[in-house]
Amino acid sequence: MNEWAQYIWIATSLLAASIIIGLVSLLVTFGREYAAVQQEEQNSIAIMKEYRKYNQYDGTTVYSQDVVTLIAESRGIPIIELFKKGRPLGRDINGKYIPDFLWDSSSSKESFSPTYLSTLLASEFGESGTFTSKIIKGKNGEILIIDIERD
C-alpha cells in the first residue's frame, strides 16, 4: 500500500515539474518575441532619424557650407563622394564612377576638420557655388553613400 502512495507522489511531482518547465519555456518565448518587436521598433526609429538627418541632401541643391557641415558631421558614415562638374571618365572595376574626393571611415581625422574642408572646397570649387546631392541607399533602406556633384 505504501508503494502506491509513493508512485502517486512521484507522478504528482513530475506533473508539477513539467507544468513549471512548460510555463518557464512559455515565458521565455514571450520574452523573445517582445525583444524582437522592441528591436524592430528601435531599428525603425534609427532609420527614421537617419532619414531626417540626411533627407535634405536627397536630390537637392546644396551650398558649400552645407557640404562642409555634412562631411564634418558624418565622420565617414555614410560615405561622402564629391565630384567636380560633370562625371569623370574614370570608372572602377565595378563600373562605378571614381570620385574626385572621398570621405569614409578610413579617412584621416584631419580631413573632417571644417577648416580643412572650407579651404579644400574654396580652392577646388571657388568661394561660392552650388552642388547637387543624391543619396544612395542599401537594400534595407540604410544610407550608404551621399553623392555630391558640382553644378
Domain containing 24 equals 1-56
pLDDT number for residue 23: 96
Interval 2-22 mean pLDDT: 91
**Are 5 and 27 in a shared domain?**
yes
**Are 39 and 113 in a shared domain?**
no
**Are 43 and 65 in a shared domain?**
no
Q: What single string gives the DSSP state of each residue in 118-150?
A: HHHHHHHH-SS-EEEEEEEE-TTS-EEEEEEEE
Interval 8-37 mean pLDDT: 95
**Are 86 and 135 in a shared domain?**
yes
**Are 40 and 77 in a shared domain?**
no
Is pLDDT above 90 for 100? no
pLDDT number for residue 126: 79
Interval 109-124 mean pLDDT: 88
Look at 32-36, 50-54, 112-116, 132-136 and tell me which has the smallest mean pLDDT. Answer: 50-54
Residue 27's pLDDT band (boundaries 50, 70, 90)? very high
Q: What single string gives the DSSP state of each residue in 87-105?
A: --S-B-TTSPBPPSEEE-T
Interval 9-23 mean pLDDT: 94
More confident residue, 83 or 37: 37
- Residue 77 to residue 132: CA distance in whole angstroms: 19
- Whether residue 76 contacts residue 106, with contact meaning beta carbons closer than 8 Å, is answered with yes
- Whether residue 133 contacts residue 60, with contact meaning beta carbons closer than 8 Å, is answered with yes
Is pLDDT above 90 for 98? no
Is pLDDT above 70 for 90? no
**Cell numbers representing residue 30 in the block:** 514571450
